[in-house]
Amino acid sequence: MDAETLKIFQRAIEEGVTSAAWPLFIVAVLSAGVGGFFGSYLKKKGEDAATRENFDEVLKQLRAQTKATEEIKQEFESMQMQQAFLRDLYASAIREYSSKQAHALRQAYLLLFEPLSASLDVAERDFEARAAMAVQLVMQPLREHLGILDKATVGKIYSVQNELLDMKGKPADERVRRKLKFFSQTDSAIEYVKADQIAFRLGLITKSLESKAEGTHD
């Protein structure tokens, strides 16, 4: 009860039952009660409105976050598909290169030291001509697939080419002495250009077949 209402009440007591202050007191009390009710009601309505606004804002943020998450997921899945496509593309090209390069390396040795076993007819060619053919044969697969190969593979094949070039013009006895060395060099290169070895060096796989085999023995 506020001070003004209290004064009206005191006046009504002093003047008695017939005091004109009683109606004023009753009106004041009722007004205070109604005012309090409406005040509480309006306050509650305001709180509800604020709650709804907060909920709407949270819901809006949640929807935006969900949309962003879906977009990231779709982008990630798209990247995975692209990576899988590139791996398949590389794998196919690497297998093709590996097969061609291994054949070329084996034929290069045969052209020089066992020409009758070579796939090419070189019966009438001398050593120098066969060496030139061997160089072309060894380098052709590399030129065709250079864009997909690692530097180590390229370096390995160039070392074979350099050995072939170095044997040109050498006397027959020296070429014979270098036969075993060249066989070992080409045989090593054949192992080096296996598809899984290249894929491992390029980072397309985490382990080569050779690594897995070594791990089995541990």
Residue 20 has pLDDT above 70, yes or no: no
Tens digits of per-residue pLDDT, 175-194? 999 999 999 999 999 999 99
Residue 92 has pLDDT above 60, yes or no: yes
Tens digits of per-residue pLDDT, 136-166? 999 999 999 998 899 999 999 999 999 999 9
CB 138 within 8 A of CB 164: yes
- pLDDT band of residue 91 (cuts 50, 70, 90) is confident
Domain boundaries, the chain: 3-67, 82-208
Residue 7 has pLDDT above 60, yes or no: yes
Tens digits of per-residue pLDDT, 37-61? 445 544 665 666 656 666 667 667 6
Residue 210 has pLDDT above 90, yes or no: no
Give the per-residue pLDDT at 76.
53
> For 7, how many CA atoms within 13 A lie in the half-sphere containing its CB?
3
If we measure between CA atoms, which residue out of 116, 119, 123, 85 comes closest to residue 100? 119
CB 150 within 8 A of CB 142: no
Q: Is the pTM of this model over 0.95?
A: no
CA distances from 21 to 7, 16, 157 (A): 10, 9, 117
Place of tokens 């060496």: 131
Residue 133 has pLDDT above 60, yes or no: yes
CB 108 within 8 A of CB 138: yes
